[in-house]
């Protein structure tokens, strides 16, 4: 149903796959999630790690509502405010993600640094695509 792989003519990636090939199944698109709790309150003002954990909790909730888990995720898109020190924070991003995704065949990923997100207190936004039978 899904094949995650890295073609031999492209560099070996660190923690993601270059290609996600879908041959069958139901596609699930999860809108970009930010660090808002169920009541709409910001979690982790000025705390990137707390915001990442809330974002992934929101993604997990959305996936579950659609009958999926993180093991069904084939693509993650990250949008990070340029105020975040990525050199210091990127290992933590991978650590949180790796607790949830299949690290043997990690999803294809794109990580983009932007000037800011819609609300200036948001430090990270992540969207996902998943496939289930």
- Average the pLDDT over 105-117 and give the result: 97
Q: Which domains does the chain have, with CATH numbers?
A: 2-132 (3.30.1330.40)
pTM: 0.94
Q: How far is CA 70 from CA 56, 87, 114, in A?
A: 10, 25, 25
C-alpha 18/C-alpha 82 separation (Å) is 24
Percent of the chain topping pLDDT 70: 100
Using pLDDT thresholds of 50, 70 and 90, give the confidence band for residue 54.
Answer: very high
Please give the biggest Cα pair distance in the chain. Answer: 47
Which of 96, 90, 89, 77 is CA-nearest to residue 14? 90
Percent of the chain topping pLDDT 90: 97
Provide the CB-side half-sphere exposure for 88 (13 A, CA): 7
Express each pLDDT in 121-130 by its tens digit. Answer: 999 999 999 9
Using pLDDT thresholds of 50, 70 and 90, give the confidence band for residue 110.
Answer: very high
Residue 50, burial from CB neighbour count under 10 angstroms (0-12, 13-18, 19+)? middle
Express each pLDDT in 6-40 by its tens digit. Answer: 999 999 998 999 999 999 999 999 999 999 999 99
Q: How high is the pLDDT of residue 47? A: 98
């Amino acid at each position: 149903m899904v094949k995650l792989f890295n073609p031999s003519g492209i560099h070996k990636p660190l923690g993601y796959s270059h290609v996600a090939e879908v041959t069958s199944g139901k596609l699930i698109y999860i809108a970009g999630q930010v660090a808002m709790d169920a009541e709409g309150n910001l979690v982790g003002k000025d705390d990137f790690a707390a915001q990442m954990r809330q974002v992934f909790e929101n993604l997990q909730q959305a996936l579950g509502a659609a009958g999926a888990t993180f093991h069904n995720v084939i693509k993650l898109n990250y949008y990070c405010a340029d105020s975040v020190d990525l050199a210091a924070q990127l290992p933590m991003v991978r650590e949180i993600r790796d607790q949830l995704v299949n690290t043997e065949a990690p999803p294809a990923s794109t990580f983009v640094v932007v000037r800011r997100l819609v609300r200036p207190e948001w430090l990270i936004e992540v969207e996902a695509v998943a496939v289930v039978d």
